[in-house]
Amino acid sequence: MSFFGFLIKKRFYIHLGLSIILTVILFFIVLQFIKIYSNHGDTYVLPDFSGKTLAEIKNDRYDQLYEFIVIDSIFDTHNPKGSVVIQNPPAGSVVKQYRKVYVTLVAYSTEKVEMPDLIDLSLRQAVNSLRSKGLVVNQLQYVEDFAGNAILEQLYDGEVIEEGSIIEKGSGIDLVVGLGQGHYAPIPFLVGLKLTDAIDAINKASFNVGNVYFLDGEDPEHDRVYRQRPAWDVSGQLFKGNTMNISLRSDLDFDFDALIQELKPDTMYFSDTTKIIKPEF
């Protein structure tokens, strides 16, 4: 091999080596860029944002870690307006920085419903009709009238409200009810009932709801009536329109089956006497 050929061969290997080194360096630089751009290995456990507004989330600087996208809003009377009720991915998910978090918020406006026509319905029918519309009984007002337990007037904010009027869902309606010949009604047994069912039972029994006490904190899913005042009595009666107070406890912490068996006598027992119970305040 000539000396010139040797130099050419040597230069070839030098260029080849330099090319390989430059390729490795370039690959390493690109790899580092990708790692930085995608925050490779930088992961976070997604918190539970339920009950927080977007403003609160921003104040906690979570918007610097994740991108929040509102996909829907719903009507909800149990949570603050504008607060998160659903998130995806769910809380506890391991995600990278800047992950899109899709949230559903409580609507800022209140859902509207039509007022039903309750006139001449029985009290029980009226309570059911209101509940089906998402409305509640605010107060029962009994007046002397031969049509016992029939609805004579329906009021909203102290004014007569006509059928078809548009009002906010969850609004309370006052009902003017006829006394009929009987001014007293049996006291319902409420122990063990959930709050909404207890309120319905009180109203349908011709009474108003008084004070409501949550002894273990408020939990609609597990709260049940633990105590009622006036207390239930198999022969006890109360003047229509009087109030009943209830206290609630969680069924996670209390044995309601045992309490019901203790308080309520054999259903086959009947009394020949009637007790007029004075309300306890």
pLDDT digits (tens, 9 = 90+) for 50-85: 999 999 999 999 999 999 999 998 888 788 999 999
* Residue in the block written with tokens 């548009």: 166
**Topology given in CATH for the domain delimited by 183-281:** Trypsin Inhibitor V; Chain A (3.30.10)
* Contact residues for 26 (Cβ-Cβ < 8 A; gap 6+): none
Residue 147's SS3 state is coil
Which helix H or strand E contains 248, and what residues bound it? strand 243-250
Structure confidence at residue 271 (pLDDT): 40
∠ CA 61-65-68, nearest 5°, is 85
Phi/psi at 57 (5° precision): -65, -40
The pLDDT, as a whole number, for residue 262 is: 87
Which is it for strands 172-178 and 136-143: parallel, antiparallel or unpaired?
parallel
What value, to the nearest 5°, has the Cα angle with vertex 225 and ends 224 and 230? 175
Q: Which CATH class is domain 43-106?
A: alpha beta
pLDDT tens, residue by residue, 192-248? 999 999 999 999 999 999 999 999 988 888 999 999 999 998 888 999 999 999 999
Residue among 93, 96, 88, 95 at smallest CA distance from 37: 96
Neighbour count for residue 272 (Cβ, 10 Å): 5
For residue 237, report the phi and psi dihedrals to the nearest 5 degrees.
-135, 160
Residue 253 vs residues 192, 214, 222, 263: alpha-carbon distances, Å:
13, 13, 9, 18
Confidence of residue 269 (pLDDT cuts 50, 70, 90): very low
- Give the residue extent of every domain in the chain: 43-106, 112-182, 183-281
Question: Alpha-carbon distance 256 to 262, whole Å?
Answer: 10
235 token code pair? 């022969």
Q: What is the pLDDT of residue 228?
A: 96
Report the CATH number of the 112-182 domain.
3.30.10.20
Q: Residue 202, class by beta-carbon neighbours within 10 Å (0-12 exposed, 13-18 middle, 19+ buried)? A: buried
Q: Specify whether the CB–CB gap between 189 and 198 falls below 8 A.
A: no
Q: What is the pLDDT of residues 1-14, one digit of tens each?
A: 554 565 566 676 67
Instruction: Examine domains 43-106 and 183-281 and report if their fold is the same.
Output: yes
**% of the chain at pLDDT higher than 90:** 64
At 100, phi and psi to the nearest 5? -75, 130
Higher pLDDT, 269 or 138: 138
